[in-house]
């Protein structure tokens, strides 16, 4: 079974690009269009990694991170923030909320999969083709 990565982003174009890049590399992509859906899918589908936009409807990425860390049934996986809002202090705020990594938008397609794979344990990384 391929490594499953949950993409939470209310920007459909960004989510589609992210999924395309990950799927081309051999990962399975799951989608959530808002923070509430992200929380539900993260708890039900047990993805291996979560990529989460910070500014989303229903729950922000910060709220998703806090809720996941408070949930006793959550199978802890890497949680990576991806945001177009790259103001001073945003990275630190994401780490304080419980994110393991922070990437700025727009993503760089040539390096994105490698950057995300670095958060996965070696046995879950897709094999280069």
Say yes or no to pLDDT of 129 above 70: no
Question: Domain map of the chain by residue range?
Answer: 4-87+97-108
pLDDT at 88: 77
CATH topology classification for 4-87+97-108: Rossmann fold (3.40.50)
Q: Give the HSE-up count for residue 42: Cα atoms under 13 Å, Cβ half-sphere.
A: 30
pLDDT at 36: 98
Can you tell me the mean pLDDT for 31-41? 97
Say yes or no to pLDDT of 70 above 90: yes
3-state secondary structure of 103: strand
- Reported residue count of the chain is 129
pLDDT at 71: 94
pLDDT at 127: 82
Say yes or no to pLDDT of 94 above 70: yes
Query: Over the chain, what is the mean pLDDT?
Result: 94
């Amino acid at each position: 079974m391929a490594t499953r990565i949950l993409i939470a982003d209310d920007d459909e174009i960004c989510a589609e690009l992210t999924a395309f890049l990950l799927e081309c590399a051999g990962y399975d992509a799951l989608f959530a269009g808002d923070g509430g859906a992200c929380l539900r899918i993260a708890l039900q589908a047990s993805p291996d990694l979560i990529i989460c936009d910070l500014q989303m409807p229903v729950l922000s990425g910060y709220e998703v991170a806090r809720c996941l860390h408070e949930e006793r049934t959550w199978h802890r996986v890497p949680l990576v923030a991806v945001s177009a809002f790259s103001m001073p202090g945003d990275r630190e705020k994401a780490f304080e909320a419980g994110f393991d990594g922070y990437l700025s938008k727009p993503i760089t397609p040539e390096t994105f999969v490698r950057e995300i794979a670095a958060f996965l344990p070696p046995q879950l990384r897709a094999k280069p083709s």
